[in-house]
Amino acid sequence: MTTSNRTLAVLITGASSGIGAALSLHYAKTTAHTLFICGRNAERLEETKRKCEQVGCKVFTKILDVTDRAATRKWIEESYQKTPLNLVIANAGTGTIHESLESIYQTFDTNLYGVLNTILPAIELYRTSSSNTLKQIAVISSIAGYHGLSTCPSYSASKAAVKAYGEALRIKLKPDNIRVNVVCPGFVRSRITDQNTCPMPFFMEAPDAAKIIAEGLSRNKAVISFPAPLRFAAWLISVLPNCLSDFIYAKLPNKA
């Protein structure tokens, strides 16, 4: 990859593992000249940085919990000062294996408010910038966000909120020339799916998912949802009468 082909400054949250780490490496190998990545695990984040730097990308890391609103805003603003961002990917998320009072609040704090803490400062910076370069925001939802799941109520609800918000923002921010894309993956290898003991149909490795996401973002797809069979099944059940969808989802095995 030549320097002239590296046109993007990309910021990715939750880059220490799973989709976030895979996206970091994908962009480092392809179109990013600079990466800003954050995570909560220093060792894993440094490993992501090392791999990205090996392929010629400049990488800045930050140990960060995206539920910290002030710290996240400060990091994004400082990153933008180093070089204007072209793509912000709000990827950091958590799963809920056992629903408890603490885990429910943690899931919403990370999956919903962590996304807001990431994209709202980015939107402000984009709106005040006079640059004509790419301004794009991607929010990572899930196929689980198509319908509330009794096996993971807080996870599916938080991802549904992110999906709906991203779809609405896409329309709202179009006049500002800010692209917004919603990503709804199925089962992708991550620290979340590593905890699952239930069946995971159409299971996918993270690098394969990263490639699909990056291609969808380059084409400015409104919703990047995959794999196709699982997406179709989730959509179909979501439009069925409740008496049918309740019956189907009640048959699903517990996550653990």
d(CA 178, CA 86): 10
Rg (CA), the chain: 18
Residue pair 110/67 in contact by the 8 Å Cβ criterion: yes
Residue 122 has a CB neighbour count (10 Å cut-off) of 23
**27 catalytically annotated:** no
- Which residue is catalytic, options 126, 155, 165, 249? 155
d(CA 179, CA 135): 6
d(CA 8, CA 4): 11
Closest CA to 62 of 3, 112, 20, 111: 20
SS3 62: strand
If you count them, how many residues does the chain have?
256
Tell me how many degrees the CA angle 43-48-54 measures, rounded to the nearest 5.
125
Active-site residue list: 155
